Amino acid sequence: MSDTFDGETAIVTGASRGIGSGIATKLAEQGASVVVNYRSSERQAESVVDEIEDRGGEAVAVQADVSDRDDVAAMVEATVDRFGSLDVMVNNAGMTTLGPAADIDVEDWRRVIEVDLTGVFIGCQAAGRQMQSQADGGAIVNVSSMMGEMGFHMRAPYCAAKAGVINLTRTLAVEWAEDDISVNALAPGFIQTDITDQTQDSAGYTDDDIRRRTPMARYGTVEEMANCVSFLARGDTYVTGEVLRADGGWTSDAWRYREDRA
């Protein structure tokens, strides 16, 4: 195990599966005590905790709806009661809805915004207040998306929310720099997870479509995203207010669709 986060405590929201579980596991491997947040999948969250503990780490599963201010405040309080501090906050929990913008129900729009943008703000605010009270700095990493910087067919609420996360990140980085709290964002591209598998058909793309369009010609992995968050959460980089794109080169390239990658 690495000692990068030795003696520190991290909360990872939406950590019961996918990218969140990978981040939680990585931070624990590097010495952090980790709160594995979940909303409804307790069994999966406990499985992540078991995996961390089997590897010699320390973790606990805590239920909270990230869009509920009281839930998040209680989670931060429980974290400090259990581990003594909150040093790293990773706002990863998110959701999406797919459909033509003209047909999206306003309640579906609101739910995506509540979780993917308001939930990130609530998490940042609760963590920021705790870190300020500790007067020892800290790190916040918000998981946005490359879709927060471009338009994507059938994903209007998600793109809007993730764009908001990017500028929220920059704003909080400026406000909290004097408290030695870094605030950065990760903007993943297409990452291979079970969620990707569930939405792929309804979104109308195939594995080959992603491979042809991405300069690196593949999906990203959960492990790679966890490595990115680990870097952004470190306190020795002089990095704040940044958006780290981890998209295999997607946003750096003009439109491509290479038939020779079929």
Catalytic residues: 158
Instruction: Please count the residues of the chain.
Output: 262
Task: Check if the beta carbon of residue 59 is closer than 8 Å to that of residue 110.
Answer: no
Cα 16 to Cα 19, 62, 98, 186: the distances in Å are 9, 10, 23, 19
DSSP assignment letter at 249: T
Spell out the long-range contacts of 214-219 with Cβ–Cβ below 8 A and sequence spacing 24 or more.
214/189, 214/190, 214/247, 214/248, 214/249, 214/250, 215/248, 215/249, 215/250, 215/252, 215/253, 215/256, 216/248, 216/249, 217/248, 217/261, 218/248, 219/190, 219/191, 219/192, 219/248
Task: Check if the beta carbon of residue 137 is closer than 8 Å to that of residue 181.
Answer: yes
Sheet-wide strand order for 181-188? 58-63, 33-38, 9-12, 88-91, 138-143, 181-188, 243-246
